Every structure is written in structure tokens, then in C-alpha cells.
Amino acid sequence: MTDPMLLNRELETALLGLNKVATRRIYKESGLTPTGFAEMVFMPVLDSIGDKWEKGEVALSQVYVSGRICESLLNELLPAEGSDLKITPPMAVAVLEDSHLLGKRILCSVLRAGGYQFTDFGQQHLESLVTRVHSENIRILLVSTLMLSSALRVKELRRRLDTAGLKVKLIVGGAPFRFDASLWKEVGADATSPTASGAISIIQRLIREVEDENL
């Protein structure tokens, strides 16, 4: 396998140059599985590009197109659906007030591969997300963000859910929560994971908690 630091530098150069062909070649030569490449290479590189945008070093269009290139490749590589679906409390995945969908895409693929039933809410504003959680009786909600401003909106999401009397286990993820290990607690989430695959053990624990509450 190529040196991880070199791999990340090559990929960042390819993405900032909007080079789809080079991105695909780097993946093929990495020797990593699709999920491994997504979590070990795509996500750190996109975090780096997002950080450069916040510092004014790259254009927002580069952030957006970089994410779309990664999403397009993963749409081809990651499993679309698992088998023998598990019976779970109503669960949903959403991106909160953010245009970055890659993290959600990886998470959905991991959940499907693991046989978990869930609803993909896609991109949501706070108002519409609270409404859907209420109307569909969601008990476990996974929220993905890229920008810090979106991550901070989770605090208001938590307040709105609690005010509405909705008993929802809230899992958050994305770059802001990887950069600040305590941010998930500050915004009122129940848990976070730096990787999509790491979220599985959290989900299993929260499922047990929800089932105990229903007894």
C-alpha cells in the first residue's frame, strides 16, 4: 500500500485540480477497500480541503466539486444494500444545513452492509428535520456535518427535539466533531464516532437503550 501521507497529498492535489481520472487511479493503486479508502483517505483529505477553505486558501467551488467527485466514485464502489435486515427502533440519517453529503453516503453504505433498517432524510434544514423526526417517530437520529456552523446547529436541534417531547438518541459525526473531541457533548448529542464503521457499536448500544425504555 502507498504511504498514507503521500496518498493523501496526491489525492488532495487531484481533488483540488478537479481531476476525476487521477482520483480513480489513486484509489485503485492504494490497495484499500472502498470503505477503508473512504475513511482513511477521502475523509481526512476533505477535512483538509474544508480547513483550507475556512482559511481562505481554496475556493468554495473546489470544496463542493471535491466532495462530488468522491461521492460519485463511492456510489460505484460501496454496497447499496445488505440482506437479512435487522429489526430496530425507527432510525434515520440526515445532513443538517450542509451541502456536504460524502459522510452521510459512507455511513448509509456501512449501515446497509450491516443489515440495519433506516430512512435516509438527505439534506435537511432544522425545521424540516424536526418535523420529519416527529412525523416518522424516529428514535435514533444520525446527523452528519462538514462545516462548524452546521455542527453548532445541532445544539438547537437538540433543544427543539426536547421541547417537542421527542425521545431521540442523537449521534453526530463529521469534521468538526473529529477536530474537537468534546463538541458532541457541548451540542447535546448522545454520542459521536470519528468513523462510519465505528458508529455501528454506538448504534447497537443505543438500540438496547431504546428497547429498555420501551419495556
How does pLDDT run across 158-199, given as a tens digit for each residue? 999 999 999 999 999 988 998 899 999 999 999 998 877 788
Tell whether 119 and 141 lie within a shared domain. Answer: yes
pLDDT at 83 over 70: no
3-state class of 83 per DSSP?
coil
Tell whether 112 and 200 lie within a shared domain. Answer: yes
Those residues with Cβ within 8 angstroms of residue 214's Cβ, 6 or more apart along the chain or in another chain? 89
124 phi and psi, to 5 degrees? -140, 145
Residue 213 CB coordination number (10 Å)? 11
Tens digits of residue pLDDT in 44-55: 888 788 778 878
Domain presence at residue 86? no
Domain presence at residue 84? no
Q: Are 115 and 181 a contacting pair, CB within 8 Å?
A: no
Domain membership of residue 36 as a residue range = 4-77
Please choose, from the candidates 177, 175, 194, 181, the residue with its C-alpha nearest in 3D space to the C-alpha of residue 50. 175
State mean pLDDT over 86-111: 82
pLDDT of residue 174: 87
pLDDT at 156 over 90: yes
Domain count, the chain: 2
Tell whether 193 and 140 lie within a shared domain. Answer: yes
pLDDT at 115 over 80: no
Domain presence at residue 156? yes
Q: Is the pTM of this model over 0.85?
A: no
Strand partners of residue 92: 119, 141
Sign of the C-alpha dihedral computed for residues 102, 137, 158 and 171 taken in this order: negative
Question: 80 falls in which pLDDT band (50, 70, 90)?
Answer: low
3-state secondary structure 188-199: CCCEECCCCCCH
Domain presence at residue 82? no
Tell whether 124 and 58 lie within a shared domain. Answer: no
Q: Which helix (H) or strand (E) holds 122?
A: strand 119-124
Q: Are 31 and 7 a contacting pair, CB within 8 Å?
A: no
Those residues with Cβ within 8 angstroms of residue 154's Cβ, 6 or more apart along the chain or in another chain? 96, 143, 145, 170, 172, 187, 188, 189
Helix-helix angle 60-77:102-113, to 10 degrees: 20
